[in-house]
Structure 1
Amino acid sequence: MQTTFQITPDQSALDSIPRDLRFHPSPAEAAKTLTREQVEHYNQFGFVRPIRIYSADEIAEIRTYFNDLLAKVVAAGGDSYSISSAHLKYGKVWDILTHPKIVAAVKDILGEDVVGWGSHFFCKMPGDGKAVAWHQDASYWPLSPSKAVTVWLAIDDADVENACMRFIAGSHHHGHMTFRPSNPDEHNVLNQTIDNPEQYGHAVDDCLQAGECSLHSDLLLHGSEANESSRRRCGLTIRYAAADVTAHMGWNQKGVLVSGADRDGKWANRPRPADD
């Protein structure tokens, strides 16, 4: 039986967990795959991009796989945002989570001991009208301390026209921010909104070609506009944490050790699921 997890856990339960939500900078001199300048950029601004992971042919194969998977999910009553914790269900997504190029970049941010624990397709169909309001990933996660990174892998080309992700550069230095519940008329994919993001820094468009990825801190303020174009914009968000991070609410069961060791035995280290 597969374990299911809430994408947005109950807020009162999250509030009851003591969490260290401070930014932990990465030692630039230890970088092996990223350049020292890239790690320093991550520390200063909270993100690094673009990083080429897959060739055009490789990402085309992944796109075909996703198209088939999306068709199955929609036929079963889901939608283009429904494919979450995908590495627990689909072997090919587990393969992306553990891909050596991605893991190597993440290690330069989090250190040698790394767990991959999340995978969620954010697929904005043409003209779907849904935005992702300004938010911090750490607000949704029962993890402590705040040593986690999101990799956003472009399945389709992502640009301003089809509502690429946007960052507020440097906002991760402000700690955990006050948010409000989103209103239904805002058509937000998520359920939190941080108002007046410009008070925390300037906005940067995360334009990526298919097969490229970006990395951003779990404390970085980010979001995206509604896709009003005639082109789809699909990305796979892959979540990683340092292995010494504590995951509450059973979220340790999502973990896959992708590098080093889980020295405290905190994570489940899930095996690769069978291909669907």
Structure 2
Amino acid sequence: MLSAADVEFYRENGYVVAPDVLDGATLSRIRQVVAEICEGARGLETHDKVFDLEPSHRPDAPRVRRIKVPHSNFPFFRELAGYGPMVAILQQLLGPDVRLHGSKINMKAPGYGSPVEWHQDWAFYPHTNDDVLAVGVLLDDADRDNGAMMVVPGSHRGPTWNHHDETGHFCGAMDPAQCPGLDLSTAALMPARAGSMTFHHVRAVHGSAQNFSSRPRTLLLYEFAAADAFPLKGISNFAEYESCMVAGSSSIEPRVVPAPIRMPFPPPRFQGSIYESQTAIAKRYFEMRQEPAPAG
């Protein structure tokens, strides 16, 4: 559970770090499952419905940068979304009724793990209200060198910035030069030990640099919403939507709260993941060094 001061910090800044939420056995099991899943990328020529691959991936030397929607593709991660200590914190921040919205596992391999440009999750999936957040479950220690997440404090109370490219298509990234008043020099790093969890508001501006270290940085990300926050892009499968409740009671009465919204249309020119979508941006903020070729 978070302290009252932690909850107030989240309300004011749009993020909070909860140390050591996972017990050791659970952390070890998640790492094992992730390693087993990644072996499934061996032999792949390109991305598929489960794997998003690094540009230097080879079928005989797999390099995975994302496992897509693990809660849908692997029952283990759907069950893990109900992990008691995490749900208790979610109820402190979102209220008693909580629904799982999405998931992903982002992997930054030593020396070449890809950056994620500045963005707001709200740009991808606006809802009828913004009691929506993402949880970062740290499977490795994270710090500045290996690409820990950074958040601009208080940005969750500001504008929804433009996430479209020069052609007008959604690209999932902001051009900070086109965001007057956004001061990236105030961005707060969220370093933490493996087993800890980060919580950031859906409208918070955040990003992460390439992994320049010799250590991995693996982050399981869950997205959760209050049960009365309904996605403005619609619900394609209501039964599945209902099955994603992790706490409390469902609702069919959306709570509508004014918030700045830009819809993510027209859709990205390059689809598949945020990494692919962000290739359309004209200017990159985070440095990208050439990836070393796989051994052999």
Match in the other structure for 1:200: 182
Counterpart Cα distance in 2 of 1:128 and 1:119: 23
- Contact 1:168–1:198 under 8 Å retained in 2: no
- Pairing partner for 2:212 from 218, 228, 232: 228
Identity among equivalent positions (%) equals 25
In structure 2, the partner of 1:160 is 144
Q: 1:71 aligns with which of 30, 35, 39?
A: 39
Pairing 1:214–2:198 present: yes
Q: SS of the counterpart of 1:151?
A: strand
Measure the CA separation in 1 of the matches of 2:227 and 2:13: 24
Contact map agreement 2:176 2:182 (CA 8 A) in 1? no
Matched, 1:59 2:41: no
1:1-276 superposed matches below 5 A: 33-76=1-44, 77=46, 78=51, 79=53, 80-128=64-112, 130-181=114-165, 191-196=172-177, 199-201=181-183, 202-247=186-231, 248-250=233-235, 253-254=240-241, 256-264=244-252
Question: 1:193: how far off?
Answer: 2.3
Are 2:65 and 2:113, in contact at CA under 8 Å, matched by a contact in 1? Answer: no
Tell me by how many angstroms 1:121 deviates: 0.4
Pairs aligned (count) = 228
Cα-Cα RMSD: 2.3
CA contact (8 A) 2:21 2:195 kept: yes
- Shift in CA distance, 129/50, structure 1 to aligned 2, threshold 3 Å: same
Deviations 1:179-201 (A, max 9, x none): 34399xxxxxx741241479435
> How big is the shift at 1:104?
0.7
Q: Look up the equivalent residue of 1:110 and give its one-letter code.
A: L
- Tell me, in whole angstroms, the C-alpha distance in 2 between the residues paired with 1:240 and 1:113: 10
Gaps of at least 5 residues in structure 1 are: 1-32, 184-189, 267-276
**Aligned-partner Cα distance in 2 for 1:97–1:194:** 33
The normalised TM-score by structure 2 is 0.71
Residue 137 of structure 2 aligns to which amino acid in structure 1?
Answer: L
Change (3 A) 1:101 1:75: farther
Report the AA paired with residue 209 of structure 1: R
Runs of 4+ in 1 over 6 A off after TM superposition: none
Distance 2:111 2:241 in 1: 33
Once the two structures are TM-superposed, the CA of residue 225 in structure 1 deviates from its matched residue by 0.5
Structure 2 distance, partners of 1:254, 1:137, is 19
- SS of 1:93's equivalent in the other structure is helix
* Deviation sequence 1:229-265 (CA, Å, 0-9, x none): 2211110110100101112343664561011101228
Number of the residue aligned with 1:14: none
Equivalent residues of 2:137, 2:196 under 8 A apart: yes
Q: Could you list the runs of 5+ residues in structure 2 that have no partner in the other structure?
A: 54-63, 255-296
